[in-house]
Amino acid sequence: MRQYLLSFPLISLYGGLIKNKKIQSESLTLKNKRRASVYWPAGKNRNKLPGIYLQHGMSILGIDDQRIIDLAENLAYCGFSVILPELVEVRGLLLKAETVDHIEELGIELSDNQLWYDGKRFGYFSVSFSGGMGLIAFSRPKLAERVSSIMAVGAYSDFLDTFPFVFENYDVDNYGVLVLLYNLINRLEPKLASELLPVFYEAAVDNALLRTKETAKAPVLLKKTKKVSQDFYHKVTTSTSFREEVAKRMLASYDTSILKAFSPYHNIKGLKAPVSLLHGETDPVISPKESEKLADYFQEKNHKFIFRTSSALVHGDQLPLHTQIAGIPALLQTFGSFFKWLKN
């Protein structure tokens, strides 16, 4: 019951029941000149509050994305000091193995820094690919003992399964495919990469910023490329069978050991903190089966966790809660467990 009470204010905020949240914020510069923002309840001493390291996902707006700001403020409203650092490569839509190292570096730096939280109760929260990479980072020896609670929303488990699923759902949400193609076009079509790299980047940004028709930049760049590049782009955006072929080629271009090294399922043996897993039932980018696979792993290892799927989420974005009443208990249970484990 306690977890329901702890998370009810958060759900009330997203449901529009609380109109006037009073939150203070401050901009910081961390090591390596990383930008960060801290959010905490107005009138509270943040040095006496549990801390949440909130890592943004692959958004071209980074920590300036209003969705991640809203999440930071809503978490803070529930009685936490929330720090939101920016990773340049993640903001740049780049999938890099060193992002795990950077999350580890930030985890150590932020847990040591007692200027923004109470210096004792430290949690990690993230979504999608950043959620999965965070699980790996917080399993490492230097971090595992520092974190009290972890929450991952819409996280991936195994890249061997994630690649094909992303491509299967292009017609529902093409953002994940465009990001993958931006990252991997040089492996797939090295002769076309110089022309198509900026096209796929702008196509992903068009999607993220809702740029269409006159404002979309990808079609303008595509017109300046050679016919062979245009043909590839049109095939991958219109043909299901061609996308299936591309997904298979992507997987084949990597040694299996490399993909496993980038997959939480194979790299979280050192994890100590309890984990809250939440996934949208109809997530078109990362399958709910990915979180289910992580839950099965935790169950087998007798690791403390909670796993729920919810109809109130898609891929990390909430749907109008008044239309998704049945999905609310899952939100209350997972967020509430994350809060409870962090506050203990």
Which of 19-28, 78-87, 152-161 is the most confident on average? 78-87
Looking at the structure, do residues 80 and 103 belong to the same domain, yes or no? Answer: yes
- Give me 111's structure tokens: 């847990």
Specify whether the CB–CB gap between 181 and 200 falls below 8 A. yes
Among 10-19, 146-155, 267-276, 280-289, the minimum mean pLDDT is found in 10-19
Alpha helices, H only, the chain: 2-14, 66-77, 88-91, 98-112, 128-137, 141-144, 159-168, 175-188, 193-208, 218-223, 227-238, 240-252, 256-261, 288-301, 328-343
Percentage of residues of the chain with pLDDT beyond 90: 76
Q: Total domain count for the chain?
A: 2
Distances from the Cα of 172 to the Cα of 128, 154, 175, 176, 280, angstroms: 17, 16, 9, 11, 14
Residue 13 reports pLDDT greater than 80: no
Looking at the structure, do residues 170 and 64 belong to the same domain, yes or no? Answer: no
Q: Look at strands 35-41 and 81-85 and give their pairing.
A: antiparallel
Give the pLDDT confidence of 141-164 residue by residue, as tens digits: 999 999 999 999 999 999 889 888
Looking at the structure, do residues 185 and 145 belong to the same domain, yes or no? Answer: no
Looking at the structure, do residues 133 and 28 belong to the same domain, yes or no? Answer: yes
Query: What is the b/e burial string over 260-288, where b = at least 16 CB atoms within 10 angstroms of the residue's CB?
Result: eebbbbbbbeebebbbbbbbbbebbbbbb
Looking at the structure, do residues 122 and 182 belong to the same domain, yes or no? Answer: no
Among the three residues 207, 239, 258, which one is the final residue of a domain in this structure? 258
Q: What is the phi/psi pair of residue 117, to 5°?
A: -150, -175
Query: The CATH number of the domain where 57 resides is what?
Result: 3.40.50.1820
Looking at the structure, do residues 102 and 125 belong to the same domain, yes or no? Answer: yes
**CA nearest neighbour of 76 among 44, 108, 113:** 44
Token pair 């991958």 is at which residue?
Answer: 236
Looking at the structure, do residues 65 and 191 belong to the same domain, yes or no? Answer: no
Q: Say which residue, 182 or 9, is predicted with more confidence.
A: 182
The pLDDT of 112-116, averaged and rounded, is 96
Task: Residue 33: count other Cβ atoms within 10 Å of its Cβ.
Answer: 7
Sign of CA dihedral 60, 185, 164, 261: negative
- Give me 131's structure tokens: 């959620």
Structural domain span for residue 122: 2-158+263-343
Looking at the structure, do residues 141 and 179 belong to the same domain, yes or no? Answer: no
Specify whether the CB–CB gap between 200 and 94 falls below 8 A. no
Residue 319 reports pLDDT greater than 70: no
Looking at the structure, do residues 221 and 324 belong to the same domain, yes or no? Answer: no
User: Is 97 exposed, middle or buried (CB count within 10 Å of its CB: 0-12, 13-18, 19+)?
Assistant: exposed
**CA nearest neighbour of 92 among 68, 134, 59, 133:** 59
Residue 68 reports pLDDT greater than 50: yes
Looking at the structure, do residues 209 and 147 belong to the same domain, yes or no? Answer: no
Percentage of residues of the chain with pLDDT beyond 70: 92
Task: Residue 51: count other Cβ atoms within 10 Å of its Cβ.
Answer: 28
CA-to-CA distance for 237 and 240, rounded, in angstroms? 8
The chain-wide mean pLDDT, for the chain, equals 92
Q: What integer pLDDT is reported at residue 34 of this predicted model? A: 98
Looking at the structure, do residues 66 and 79 belong to the same domain, yes or no? Answer: yes
Looking at the structure, do residues 122 and 246 belong to the same domain, yes or no? Answer: no
pTM: 0.93
CA-to-CA distance for 130 and 52, rounded, in angstroms? 15
Interacting residues of 224 by C-beta distance below 8 A, sequence separation 6+: none
Q: What is the phi/psi pair of residue 104, to 5°?
A: -60, -45
Among the three residues 213, 228, 258, which one is the final residue of a domain in this structure? 258
Give the pLDDT confidence of 300-316 residue by residue, as tens digits: 999 999 999 998 886 55
CA-to-CA distance for 80 and 171, rounded, in angstroms? 39
Among the three residues 238, 258, 278, which one is the final residue of a domain in this structure? 258
